[in-house]
Structures are given as C-alpha cells and as structure tokens.
Structure 1
Amino acid sequence: MGLDLRICPACGDRADRPVVAGAVVTCAKCGHEWPFRKLPLFALTGPSGAGKSTMGPLLADRFGGDVVVLDQDILWIRALHDDTAEFRAIWLRMAAMLHQNGRPVVLCGTVAPPEFEPLPERAFFSDIHYLALVGSPSSLRARLRARPAWREWDEQRIDEMLEFNDWLRKSAPELGVDLFDTTDVTREATADHVEKWIRARLP
C-alpha cells in the first residue's frame, strides 16, 4: 500500500476527488477499499509577524516526536504562486501521508478555514483545528519592517497583512478559529499556550 491516499493500491488509479467514509478509502474505478489513519491536523495560522515561524522549532523540541511540526512556506515556490488552491491541496496530501506514520501534523502557515475546508483532501482528516496568532497593528508593522530585505516586506504588503490580521480577529468566532494575541507575550509563554492547546486536542 502506498502512502498517497489518492492512489488505489489495487488498480493504481488516482482519484482527484477521493471517496472516503470514516477511515476507509474506496476506489471509484475498481471498488477496492482500504483503511487509513484518520488523525486531526493542527493549523497554526495568523498574519506574518505574529510568531508562527518562531513557534516551529520550540514546538518540535517540546513534543519530541509525538507530532510533526512543519512550516508551509518551505513549499511556497514560484510555480505555485498563482494557484493557491493547489498549494493548499498539496499540503493536505502531505499531512495525510505523514499521518500514516501515526503522528499528527502541526502546520505553521498563513491559512484560513475557507482555504482548507472545501478541498477534497479535507476528507482525510478527522478534524482540522485552527489556532491563529495575532497581534496589534503597530507591533506587526514594526516586526515586518524589521525583517531582512530579501523577504520584500514593502508597505503595501504590510498593509495587506494587517488587513488579514483584522479580518481574522473579527471572523474567528464564525470560522471556528481560536485566537491568541502575541503582542505583549514572550516566545516561551506563547509556546506554552500553543503546546497546551495542541495537547488538549490530541487523539
């Protein structure tokens, strides 16, 4: 059996829209059924500058292999810039593949439920839990302005990110997103909160 849950281990057909019932995948072509590990995915989201990337190594150290912590920007290559839906789908397929090793994935990156929930790959997860790190506009602006030049944070990009920060704050309740404001919180205290949030939702 392969790790790519879209590919039937019996006939080799690849499904663009997987047929999933519970923790069983059914091949639409040959009817073969096979079980898979259906685990929760943890999306640590929020605007740039709120502390997501900083949390990555801290969480990886704290969980010691109990979960896999990934930064989604590692696959944000130029070929995917114009197809964000495919970018999100690739990450869901990657996380589902890693879940077959028995360890849940914590994905750190700017994402919102409307970008994950409609995708066919959403069926591979028991839940997707969203925690957004947010900050005050002034703190985020200062952090983004201080970033190295190669990251290309001009004022227009910063304004767009502050709009996303504001939208997340207002929309979180209806989206089912938990919020944590990092404006005046240390890295360690933020990691404490995120770790506790994840552990409370582990299977």
Structure 2
Amino acid sequence: MLDLKICPGCGDRGDYPVTAAGELSCPRCGHHWPFRRLPLFALTGPSGAGKSTVGPRLAEKLSGRVVALEQDVLWTGVLRESSPDGYGTGAFRSTWLRMAAMIHQSGRPVVLCGTVAPPEFEPLPERAYFDRIHYLAFVAEPAALAERLRARPAWREWDEPRIAEMLEFNDWLRESAATLDPPVDLFDTTTATIDDAVDHALRWIEARLPA
C-alpha cells in the first residue's frame, strides 16, 4: 500500500503508525513491512519572504533527486475547514506528512514549501514516517515584508490585520528559531536576490540529502 496507514496484510487503517528498525507494523494483525524513512525538508517562513519564488527554481535544479511541492495547493475544502485554529494544525498538516511519506517510497525526498514550524509537525503521529524534518525559514525585515505583502494582487486578500499577523510570525521565527526543537535555520531575504536565495536553499538541501 502506498498509504502507509493501511496494512497490506489485513487492510486495517491505523491512526498511529508503529515503526521500528525501518519497518511498519500493524497493531491488529501483527504484520510487518519495510518502508523508506527519508528526511523531509521544510522550506518555511512568513508569506512574502520568497518561498514560492524559490520553490520552482529548486524543483528545476534538484530535478531527479528531490520532489519540490507547494503546500498551499491542499489549503482548501475540508482540510481548511477542519483546522481548529485556521492555520492547518489539524488534518491539513497530517495529510501533508502522509503525502510526503508516500512520495518518499519512490526514493526521492520531498522539499515542502509553506508556512510551518516545528511545533506544528513534530508532535503529529505521522512524524514517525521521517528520519528527520529539516527546517529552513526565509525571513525579512518587517518593513520590507509588509511592503511585499501590500503589493500582492487583491485576490490574495492581504488586508492590514492579516499582514500584522504575518509580521508577528516573522518576528517570532527570527527570535525563536535557534531554541525550537529541532532548531530552524534562517536566511534573511531583505536585500538578497532571487539567485542568492536559490543558491542558499540549494546548498542547504544538498548538504543534508541522504547519501
């Protein structure tokens, strides 16, 4: 089964993965089966910091080695509505971890581009599917970030309260990154060019890819 929650032995669907020594096990029938436990790369940071601009360039440069994905494509329908705080800490985050774990079974690590922090991924049961989650956050000076968000097209609905909320997240990351578990690496895009950001993210990912 590509969906790692479903036992290929009895077909039961478990809510909590049981992992040991590179294998999954079914608490119902006791069946064991191997799976690939690869690292996941989270390219995070506030909106406007450059994730979505850099993501396609990473997909091109890392083609054949990793799969780069934009997390907002699933920010819709029931996944959005069922999020208790409006930011995807419910089914949205769990679904993305399951999706990335399925892609990993093809042997390619995933780079997930989207706003996320360790407290939103690390406590989830699906975290057990990954060897480690590496976090790189793009951040920027508040004035520069606010200017970028205000310049976005109207359909993206960036009003002042929402901008203030994103600036708060930006400040929190800049202050707390080193103390989070695991720590989050930062790259300031205030004056960086797109090429600078792409090159930094590329070096960061390549240094952490499994041999």
Pick the TM interval, shorter chain.
Answer: over 0.9
Partner-residue secondary structure (3-state), 2:179:
helix
* Corresponding residue SS for 2:135: strand
Name the TM-score, length of structure 2 as normaliser: 0.94
Residue from 172, 176, 179 that aligns with 1:174: 179
Gaps of 5+ in 1: none
Task: Map Cα deviations across residues 145-166 of structure 1 (whole Å, 9 max, x no partner).
Answer: 0000000000000000000000
Indicate the SS of the match to 1:12.
coil
Which residue in 1 is equivalent to 2:79?
80
Q: Which moved more, 1:193-202 or 1:77-86?
A: 77-86
Aligned equivalent of 2:137:
132
User: With structure 1 as the length reference, what TM-score do the two structures score?
Assistant: 0.98
Number of residues of Structure 1 aligned to a counterpart in Structure 2: 202
Structure 2 counterpart of 1:196: 203
| CA distance in structure 1 between the aligned counterparts of 2:16 and 2:78, rounded to whole angstroms | 23
Q: Could you give the per-residue CA deviations for residues 17-69 of structure 1, whole angstroms, max 9, x where no partner exists?
A: 11111311000000000000000000000000000000111001111221000
Secondary structure at the counterpart of residue 43 of structure 1:
strand
Unaligned runs of 5+ in 2: none
Q: CA deviation at 1:79?
A: 2.0
* RMSD of aligned Cα (Å): 0.7
Identity %: 68
State whether structure 2 residue 25 is matched by structure 1 residue 18: no
What are the superposed Cα offsets for residues 96-133 of structure 1, whole Å, 9 maximum, x if unpaired?
00000000000000000000000000000000000000
Alignment of 1:10-159 (within 5 A): 10-82=9-81, 83=83, 84=88, 85-159=90-164
Give distance in 2, aligned partners of 1:200 and 1:130. Answer: 13
Alignment partner for residue 166 of structure 2, among 155, 161, 177? 161
Instruction: Give the aligned residue type for 1:47.
Output: P
Once the two structures are superposed, residues 167-203 of structure 1 have per-residue CA deviations (whole angstroms, 9 ceiling, x without a partner) of 0011101110000000000001110000000000000
How many angstroms apart in 1 are the aligned matches of 2:150 and 2:22? 46
Moved over 6 A (4+): none
Moved more, 179-188 or 18-27: 18-27
